[in-house]
Amino acid sequence: MERQITSFIRALRASDVRVSTGEAIDATRAVSVAGYSDRAFLKDALRCTLAKSPEEAVTFDELFDAYFAPRSLNSSSQDQDNQNSEQSDASSEIDPVDLMESGDEAAIASALERAANAVDADDIRFSTQIAYYAQQMVREMGGERIQERLMQAFQQRSEEGDTEAERLIDLRRDLTMRARERVQRSYDIFGKGETEQFRNEFAENKKLSAIELSDMARMKVLVARIAKRLAVKHSRRRRKKNRGQLDVRRTMRANAGVDGVPFNVVWRQKRREKPKIVVICDVSGSVARYVRFLLLLLWSMKDVVPDLHAFAFSNKLVDVDDILEKNKFEDAMDQILRVAGMGSTDYGEAWTNLKSGHEQLIDRRTTIIVLGDGRSNHGNPRTDLFRSFAARAKRTIWLNPEPQPAWGTGDSEIPRYRPYCSSMSQVSTLKDLERAVDDVLSAYA
């Protein structure tokens, strides 16, 4: 029983359902009470202990129906272990032809299960491995003996031999298809989730400049997960603990009315600032693709960063808060690119527009995030204005899509802006954007 539950929990974890060690122990105890006789009751008992959200409940239901097939609940784990131990030595002596011709579905299913366990079919990770594991199962069940009899039938060179060969071919095809179905079930339970995780990890580390239209649906899901992960991390309230520097004045005042009985100690607590972010995005050329993901990530975290202001420019700076608030994100990005993305890049003009119309947004609580390559077509970069913004702000973060060897080459003004930035880093993947936003929000902890 414990092995079945442990294996099922492994399948849940592979499908991105979080199950802690304590929850796994609770699930084992729940099954010991519920038993396997009532499938609906077993499902409810496990769902209560393992699924913690509506999304996880959906995944749980799909995996439960696939893993706990009605046939597997007809006997207990102990009966299955006894059956396996008794038949494991004899499995090699079973003639696969006699087994398949017997029509005994229970015996065939048991033989398939033993073969699947022998070749570790539950370790499958990718759909491309289905054929391999199926072949290994057929071999484990005596496929070579079928092949030998098939060769003997061909060598007879007679009508009876041809009939026997056709019969053996059909039998081997049937056995192979059953083995594939069994491996497909293992893949649906154990491999599909791990494959999805592998694809997600690959997408998170794929260069954003190489993202294709077919990848956008997956990328939106990944951005939403990252936003949720960061929101949970940075929205936790810090618990007050009796540690830090003693506040003598407040301690004396707190105990004056009771003559120090009891004596209450007051510690100085560092006040946590609320995040305030001003993000300024260069939407010219190839940089626009990176802007799409940064704004999507930040706008997915509005609950954590309600004081968020976004600007876009190629030369003239445009306030895009209203566009993002009033439109669906994809429509908003198309509109932003039309309004702010048409023109020759001019960082100097963008800083001038920020100075004249929006400088009041920048204060000691503000983190300025600049996303751009710093290429200003040899115009005046107005580093004097950028220096003044950085001096007013809490931090100034510059995210550059270009690799560092390209900084300062051609019309790049990055070396002139770099001294006034708290940090300047390359962002080329979704993981890079996550680290950058995490670093910004961590500064307010």
In the prediction, which pLDDT does 33 show? 86
Region 206-227: mean pLDDT is: 85
- How many C-beta neighbours within 10 Å does residue 54 have? 7
Place of tokens 């940064």: 294
208 domain residue, yes or no: no
In the prediction, which pLDDT does 271 show? 65
Provide the pairing of β-strand 423-426 with 395-400: parallel
In whole angstroms, what is the distance from residue 375 CA to residue 354 CA?
18
* The domain boundary residue, chosen from 170, 201, 232: 201
In the prediction, which pLDDT does 312 show? 94
305 domain residue, yes or no: yes
Helices 430-442 & 287-299 angle (0-180, nearest 10)? 50
**Three-state SS sequence of 180-248:** HHHHHHHHHHHHHHHHHHHHHHHHHCCCHHHCCHHHHHHHHHHHHHHHHHHHHHHCCCCCCCCCCCECH
User: In terms of residue numbers, what domain contains 323?
Assistant: 276-442
Which tens digits make up the pLDDT trace of 291-320?
988 998 888 888 888 899 999 999 899 999
78 domain residue, yes or no: yes
User: With 90 as the cut, is the pLDDT of residue 232 above it?
Assistant: no
Region 20-43: mean pLDDT is: 87
In whole angstroms, what is the distance from residue 251 CA to residue 267 CA?
8
Indicate if 69 and 111 belong to the same structural domain.
Answer: yes
Region 250-258: mean pLDDT is: 81
User: With 90 as the cut, is the pLDDT of residue 235 above it?
Assistant: no
In the prediction, which pLDDT does 383 show? 94
Q: Distance between alpha carbon 171 and the CA centroid of its chain, in Å? A: 43
User: With 90 as the cut, is the pLDDT of residue 91 above it?
Assistant: no
Which of the two residues, 17 and 348, has the higher pLDDT score? 348
Indicate if 164 and 123 belong to the same structural domain.
Answer: yes
User: With 50 as the cut, is the pLDDT of residue 75 above it?
Assistant: no
Which tens digits make up the pLDDT trace of 139-184?
988 888 888 888 888 888 888 888 888 888 888 899 999 999 999 9
In the prediction, which pLDDT does 150 show? 85
212 domain residue, yes or no: no
141 domain residue, yes or no: yes
Region 178-200: mean pLDDT is: 87
User: With 60 as the cut, is the pLDDT of residue 59 above it?
Assistant: yes
Average pLDDT, the chain: 85
CB 278 within 8 Å of CB 367: yes
Indicate if 129 and 72 belong to the same structural domain.
Answer: yes
User: With 60 as the cut, is the pLDDT of residue 200 above it?
Assistant: yes
User: With 50 as the cut, is the pLDDT of residue 190 above it?
Assistant: yes
In the prediction, which pLDDT does 71 show? 52
* Domain count of the fold of the chain: 3
| CATH code at position 307 | 3.40.50.410
In the prediction, which pLDDT does 84 show? 46
Indicate if 112 and 186 belong to the same structural domain.
Answer: yes
Helices 287-299 & 216-234 angle (0-180, nearest 10)? 50
Indicate if 302 and 376 belong to the same structural domain.
Answer: yes
- The token pair at 441 is 């929000």
* pLDDT-wise least confident of 1-5, 34-38, 298-302, 322-326: 1-5
* pLDDT-wise least confident of 84-88, 202-206, 209-213, 394-398: 84-88
46 domain residue, yes or no: yes
In the prediction, which pLDDT does 86 show? 47
Which tens digits make up the pLDDT trace of 322-332?
999 998 888 99
Indicate if 346 and 256 belong to the same structural domain.
Answer: no
Indicate if 249 and 296 belong to the same structural domain.
Answer: no
Indicate if 72 and 36 belong to the same structural domain.
Answer: yes
- The token pair at 51 is 């699924």
Residue 70 — very low, low, confident or very high, per pLDDT cuts 50/70/90?
A: low
Which of the two residues, 114 and 271, has the higher pLDDT score? 114
pTM over 0.75: no
Which tens digits make up the pLDDT trace of 397-420?
999 999 999 999 999 999 999 999
342 domain residue, yes or no: yes
Region 46-71: mean pLDDT is: 85
Indicate if 425 and 389 belong to the same structural domain.
Answer: yes
* The domain boundary residue, chosen from 174, 201, 228: 201
Residue 87 — very low, low, confident or very high, per pLDDT cuts 50/70/90?
A: very low
438 domain residue, yes or no: yes
Indicate if 388 and 304 belong to the same structural domain.
Answer: yes
User: With 70 as the cut, is the pLDDT of residue 92 above it?
Assistant: no
Indicate if 265 and 345 belong to the same structural domain.
Answer: no
In the prediction, which pLDDT does 244 show? 63
Region 320-343: mean pLDDT is: 88
Cis-peptide, bond into residue 262, ω within 30° of zero: yes
Indicate if 148 and 260 belong to the same structural domain.
Answer: no
